[in-house]
Every structure is written in structure tokens, then in C-alpha cells.
Structure 1
Amino acid sequence: MNAATKAVTSRLVCLHIPKTAGSSLRETIKVVYTPERMHWFSEDVGLFGGQRFQESAVADKLFLGGHRPLSFYPQGAPHLYFAALRHPLERARSLFSYFTRPEEGGSEGNIAERERLREQWLRQGIVPESLLRSIEQCKPFRQEIENDQCRYLSNGEATFEAALETLKSGNFLIGNSTNLSTLLSTLGTLFQWPETREARTNISVAKGEDDILSEPGVVERILECGDQDLKLYEYVLQQHDGLFMNMPDREMLLSSGLCFTDVDQRPFSDLAWRKLKLSPVDTAVSVKPGRSTIQLSLHNDSREFLNPEVEQGLAISYMLLDENGEVIQRANPRTPVASMIKPGDSLDIPVQLVIPDNLPRAPAKVRFSVMVEKRFWLFRLCPEHGLDVPVVPA
């Protein structure tokens, strides 16, 4: 990975709005850039109001984030800021549960942390029995849901108009918490990440069947507090793929340390292998005993380059199976994959097929699969990858 050795000109910055799946984003992207190149601003560092951004403290970092609004960061830096939004009702429900129901924390560590938070919020006036009364009587909690998402994303007021004006003036990628995969995939494609498994962390485990939002009047009060947030959420949801994207400094971002280089010389990752798709060019294909050629298409649905010079021994091969699905033992001819397949591309491969007449059992189908010689058959790692073609009598 050359990202670690480049001069840092741009950073990836997660504006982690509380209870919008920011922890899952953090844990996923931390794997990409490594923990050493990440700094996550913690609530434990001290009171937010007394903190300032210090460039010297993060000079060697590529990935920043935490519960810090856009206004925390120096203006004018060519960073890419990203965030996930959440519907105000779901976010209010999640915040209230997080602050008042430690038993829903799942793990022992999360439960202990939420018990500590509950004590803090009780001292500030939250009412565990009532979300509506908590909004009315606990000013700090009310501030958490009063268009806080617009506040995080705006250089001005906490309004939809001010937030949108800010987003249109800088490098931003904004998605929603119910579809993190699209947000992560867009980042991964932009910066040519290896395939990355999406982490899911800090997820509540509901106890009982009571619905926090069933309390009379609470839905209307939340929507009143978060009317600007709802406008922003719905606006982003209506954009292409549910993403707002604006990158005036795109070329600078792509030439920065955020972007991986030499990607066509990188070994294909385990997750990338699982995104290969083998299919017949003729969907109504069948084969007969004897010698024949079958046209197959190998599609690379990953964001990585499949390079036969890197994956030596890469080929399409096949097995003959009887009517019970048992392998008929014999040598397996190989058709080499001779050309590199770029992300999103396909390669048509004519595969030479031989079905002898003197087999110990009659073949019922041919199973085609990608294989890497002396390493693996892909269908054994991913059973759905195997392509079975019926054998019809001559």
C-alpha cells in the first residue's frame, strides 16, 4: 500500500453524528488505512467546548473522525468529509434507548458504558420512562435532536438551507445509516481500496416489545424539533443512489495519500475472489460427449484488478459429475485466463471441453470453476460460484 508513504495533502474525515452508524464506518475504514493512520476524537479527551483542532497532533494521519461537527475542523483544507444521516424519528429513538436502557447494549462492555451514560443523563434530567417528557424537561437531550444533523454539516445555522449551501461548497459525500454499503462502496471505488468487509458495531439489542415512539405526542414533537434534519435527510435520499456527492477538489483527492496505487499489481483478496461470476455466453447451453468448445464469460464484480501475472496458475477448469453429483475421477484440463480483468469488466473465454466415452460412470453434468493451480478451486470456497452445465446424450 503506497498510501502510507505519500505526503498527506488530503484526509478522509468522518463527521460522526451520534447514533448514525459512525462506529461501523470507523471500524470498516480503520482496516483500510490501519489504526496507525487513524485518529478518532474521543469524548474522553475533555470537554468539547474547550478543545481545538491541532494539526501537529494529527500530522501523520489519513483518516480522522469522531463526534465533532464540520466547524471543529479548519476551513479551506482539501479534505473529503463524509457522514451518514438518519431519519429524525429513528435517531431520537436510538439516542433515548442508548442513554436510558443499558440492558440493550448487547456486550458486557457496552452495557457497562451505557450504565455510566445513564447515570450522567439522569443527573441532567432525562426521564427514562418517557421520551416526550425527556424532550420537554431535559434541555441537553432536546439539543441532541434539535436539527443536530444540520448543525454537524453546516458552517452556518442549523438549517437545511445552510447545510446544503455548505455541502455544495466543499468536498462532501453524504449517505444514510440504513445503507452504509453504498457509502463505503463509493469511497472504496474512488480511492481504489481493496475489497473490505463492512463492520457492524455498537448495535442495540432490544429487550421487550415496547415501542418508544408509541407514546402519544412524541412523534409530532420529534418532527417539530428535527424539521430541518428531516428536509436534509429526504433531500439526500432523493439523490442518485441515495448519496449526495460534491468534490471540487477531486483531482487533488485522487493524487493524495488516500488513493491506493499499483492496484493492478495487488494480489486478489479473499473478498474479491467471492465477487467473480462465471456464466455461459449462451444461456441455453448444454454439452455432449466428445470434444467441444464452450464460450464462458468471467465477470469481475469487485473493485480489484484480477491480474494473471500476479495470480499465477489462474485458469478455468471443470469436473465431470455423475447423476448423484459425485465427481468422476479424471485429470482436469485447464484453460488459462490470459488477460487482466479490470473492476467491473468481463472476459469471454473459449474453454476446450473433453468428455470421453470410456468413463466408469455416465456424466450428468459438467461443473466449471475458476481455479488457481496448486491453491484452490473457487467453487469450493464459494459453492455458488460453480457453473453446472448439463450433459445430453450424443
Structure 2
Amino acid sequence: MDEKVVIFMHIPKTGGTTLNNIFKKFYSENEIYDHVPLEKMNKQFSQLKEEDKKNIKAISGHHFYGIHEFFSQPYVYFSMMRHPIERVISLYYFLKSYPGYYEENMKHMSFEDYIDWDPQATNGQTKQICGGKSHLSVEKAKENLLEFESIGITEMFNESLLLLKKKFKWGNIKYKKVNVTKSRPLLDEVPIEIIKKIEKHNELDIELFQYIKSNFIKQINDL
């Protein structure tokens, strides 16, 4: 059987940039598509010779579940998930000063308006795990999770990294945190009405996060 293509589904603001820097160390440049936009990646892959296609061993990026359909090889996913309230807070303060589209549109946007405006702020993690073509539900996400070797928890990053190291037989996993949102307030500094609005917009993410965290802790305890 062909070696499985390892797909890192990077969910924004879950510690994924730090994790990706570790992940891509284990592949040469011609073995990995590292955050290449979907259309560009598909075009590049279709132009490769068959023997070169088999050299692709890894994919990472802000892709939705289903990216494996572009490849004929067997595949396996992994990802990280973060508590939905913490993630949306981090998203807002990170994107508010992100050059280009977000900075231009969010310059004078309140947090409350942002939650209604950005699709990422409403069950964004469940959406990615369900895939763009599928009905959005926790049940569908759980079904797709059967194709995941592991989903780590941002709040337990070191434990997640050790579990991934064991499952994928990674080497040196020393790391430095990158892409951290430094300007964001602490959770208890965010107005309660904002917290409640985030909760209302992320009921599926909260349910899925609790399910994934429970399973993750069981895996850690089994090590």
C-alpha cells in the first residue's frame, strides 16, 4: 500500500502556525504543499508526472475536510481545536490589524459586529471539520473525525505535541511560539454580553470541543 498523505488541517488561531513549523520540518520542499491555496495546489498537482505525484507526502493549510479528494493516495488527517470562546476572542484582535482585507473592513468594527460579520466566528471549527460540501452538524463532524489520526487541544499544546510525535513518529519537536495575538484581553476582561453572543454563535463548536477534549484526555491517559 502507498504511504499515506498526512494532512494538517490548520484551523485559524488554534496554535496551528507553531505546529505547522514543527510539522513541515519533517518533509523536503517537493514533498509538502505548505499553505498553498486550493486552486493553485490543484493546478500544480494536475501538472505533475505520476511518479512525482507519489512524492507528495504532506499537505498543510486552512483547508476544509475533503482536500484528500484531490489525491489518489491513502490519507490521514490531524488538527488542533481550541475552546471556541478563546478562539473567537483571539480571531477578532488578530484580524483587526491583519493587513489587507480584514484590516480595511474591521478598522472601526466593534467586537459585537464582528461576530455577526465573519463566518469564522460562527461554528468555524465545526465547519472546517464537516467540510464545505456537507451539512453542518456535530454528527457529521464526528463521522469525519474517523479519518483523523489525532486532534490536539490548544490549551494542552505540549501534551498534543507529544501525542502527535508518538502517532507520526516525529523527531525533534522543540518549538518557539509564533503568531501569538499579543494585543487581546484576557477572558475575564471581555464583557459578559460578548461572551454570551460568542456562545450563542458557537453552540456546535462548544459541543464538538467538549467531545474532542474528552477523547483527547483519554488518549493522553492511555500513553
The reply to whether TM is greater than 0.5 is yes
- The answer for the alignment partner of 1:233 in structure 2 is 209
RMSD value over aligned CA atoms? 3.0
Deviations 1:71-127 (A, max 9, x none): 233188521200100111111101101111x3xxxxxxxxxxx233543433xxx74
Partner of 1:151: 127
Contact 1:147 1:228 in 2 (8 A): yes
Q: Which has the higher strand share?
A: 1
Q: Is 1:195 the equivalent of 2:172?
A: yes
Query: Structure 1 residues 178 and 34 mapped into 2: Cα distance closer, same or farther (>3 Å)?
Result: farther
Give the structure with higher Rg (CA): 1
Contact 1:99–1:117 (8 Å) recurs in 2: no
Match of 1:175? 152
| Paired positions, count | 212
Check the 8 A contact 1:69/1:153 in 2, yes or no: yes
One-letter identity of the residue aligned with 1:119: E
Correspondence 1:13 to 2:2: no
Letter in 2 for 1:74: E
Q: Deviations over 1:151-206 (max 9, x none)?
A: 111253222111002213x2431111122323322232233332321342111223
User: Superposition pairs for residues 1-394 of structure 1, below 5 Å?
Assistant: 9-42=3-36, 45=37, 53=42, 55-56=45-46, 59=53, 60-74=55-69, 77-100=73-96, 102=97, 114-122=98-106, 127-128=108-109, 130-136=110-116, 138=117, 141=118, 143-155=119-131, 156-168=134-146, 170-206=147-183, 214-241=190-217
Identity of aligned residues (%): 20
| Cα-to-partner distance string for 1:16-66 (whole Å, 9 max, x where unaligned) | 111111111110112222444221134xx4xx6x66735445822222110
Q: Could you tell me which runs of 5 or more consecutive residues in structure 1 were left unpaired when the two chains were aligned.
A: 1-6, 103-113, 245-343, 345-394
Deviation of residue 235 (structure 1)?
0.7
Evaluate the alpha carbon distance shift between residue 243 and residue 157 of structure 1 in structure 2; reply closer, same or farther with a 3 A threshold: farther
Structure 1 residues 63 and 97, CA gap change in structure 2 (3 angstroms): same
Letter aligned with residue 219 of structure 1: I
Q: Residues 40 and 161 of structure 1: is their aligned pair in 2 closer, same or farther, counting only changes over 3 Å?
A: same
Q: Distance in 2 between matches of 1:232 and 1:93?
A: 18
Could you list the runs of 5+ residues in structure 2 that have no partner in the other structure? Answer: none
SS of structure 2 residue aligned to 1:157: coil
TM-score (norm 2): 0.80
TM-score by length of 1: 0.48
